[in-house]
A and B are shown apart, each in its own frame.
Chain A
Amino acid sequence: MARTGSDGQPPLIYLNNAATTYPKPAAVPEEVASCLKHPVHEHGRTTGTGSVDYPSAAREALAAFFHAGPPENFVFTQNATDSLNILIHGFAKKAGAPFHAIVTELDHNSVLRPLAALEQEGILRLSVVPFHDAKVSLADIKKVICPETRLVVMTHGSNVLGSLQDIKPIAEYLNANDIFFIADGAQTAGNTVVDLEAIPAGAFVFTGHKALFGIPGIGGFYIADPDAVAITRQGGTGTDSQSLAHPVEMPMRFEAGTHNYPGIASLYAGVRFIEETGLSEIARKNRELTYAFIRDLKKIRGVTVYHEHPELPVVAFNIAGLGNEEAGFILANAYNIVTRTGLHCAPLVHKRIDGGKGCIRASFSYFNTLEEIRAAADAIREVAGYENR
């Protein structure tokens, strides 16, 4: 998709899709506009019936997309971080007594910080599993499991290294051993097939504004057994309003207050776009872009690529002699190439790969082109070849 620059700038090349995708499919803003043009329609909150019941329609679309049901077990939240907070704090509340929990070095602060806060409060003891060649295996996790282990939270795909984690055997083992497993699919939902019928995770977290092509402010999770997680938020649900106790039924159990209808509409349209385009076609194109970029980067002297075989469209790299933020600044302001620099809210990954200094991350979506990837690589070559080296 051609995007022109302004004020003599080169055309915008947006390579920050792991943060939030841009552009969105045309159907997404159209659906949002349509949602805003009509009165809200959701059973229990209005007597109106003339427009789309977006929460119900989106839940059904998500259930089909992730091969999981019932649709009511899909809960809408603000984003993946919100989902993880609801699940982690709710699970800890349900557990009652202190317990042992496991995370991995690949995890995002949206996982690490809620767990670290609970550890500080003495509610749990936390173990961090290291990664090898960008992956965490079941064998690695088994090494730290103890009789007190009740919870494992881990990313399905690294937001820094782009490595897809094989969570199926992990989910199967944990499920069989009564350990609650939360998979963080912020980077995988919409980028790769997630078949929750085959992966018995306790909960699967997603966000709407990345590869699912929704707008920021919408996310959610699927929970297999809602009783595993206590209610931590209470409020209006439009149901059982005589009772001062928050409903335990799904999805109201975890949804208090008015929904983000435009956000849900965008997620609904995003999922439909993926279904219509074909997830395999999206994944194929992303793979083509990612590997073309890596091939080009590997030819540039002074560039270090931290994981050369990502399954997700994410490439982490640094340029010798330039700080990552400095390089990102130059790419953005001189070449109009948007990346993300720093720690990507995943400090433990960076401790391992770059001594905690951070890196430049380029991340792609279906709407990037090979021409953009080549232009980005050319710019990086120019920046890496500066004369003061």
Chain B
Amino acid sequence: MRIVKSVQSKVCVDGSLMKEYVLDEPLTEEFLGFLENFGTVRRIGQLKKPYFSFEKEHFISIRGFAGDSNVEVRYKKEFTDLVADYFHLLLHYYDEGEKGIAALRGIEDSIRQKMKVRL
């Protein structure tokens, strides 16, 4: 999966950075399952469109609808620079399957170390 377009805007309430991405293919249940390896995925299925959110503390949150190719990604204000590539990494390592999960966890650990230093 890859990003074909991104639009940047600011979030009113907490000032965290928000980007809207258009992907080259719709988000699938399989991708949501992949996300569950890295954070909390919440699904609300019985709406007009099946909504999901992904929350990863200190990193990013994602909102979107299964079957859509548009997503909204919010980068936590305190570590925006450290997590700026995190959504791209999710897309990249999703394509690598099980190997990707382990590789991304390793990258996460290194990002967390940098967060700790900053705190």
Contacts and interface: CB of A to CB of B under 8 A. Distances in A.
A325 B13 contact: yes
B47 A383 contact: yes
Interface in B29-75: 42-49, 51, 53, 63, 65, 68, 70, 72
Contacts of A342: 11-13
Contact of B47 (A10, A334, A341): A334
Nearest to A356: B13
A329 B44 contact: no
B81 to A, nearest CB: 23
Contacts of B45: 387
A387 B12 contact: no
Interface string B72-103: 10000000000000000000000000000000
A382 B72 contact: no
Contacts, number: 45
A387 B65 contact: no
- Sort chain B's interface into a size bin: 10 to 19
Contact of B63 (A329, A341, A343, A345): A329
Contact of B51 (A330, A343, A358, A379): A330
A386 B49 contact: no
B44 A387 contact: yes
A345 B53 CA distance: 26
Contact of B48 (A357, A358, A382): A382
A357 B72 CA distance: 20
Interface in A345-389: 345, 357-358, 379, 382-383, 386-388
Contacts of A334: 47-49, 51, 65
8 contacts: A330-B44, A330-B51, A333-B65, A333-B68, A334-B47, A334-B49, A382-B46, A382-B48
Interface of A: 10, 325-326, 329-330, 333-335, 341-343, 345, 357-358, 379, 382-383, 386-388
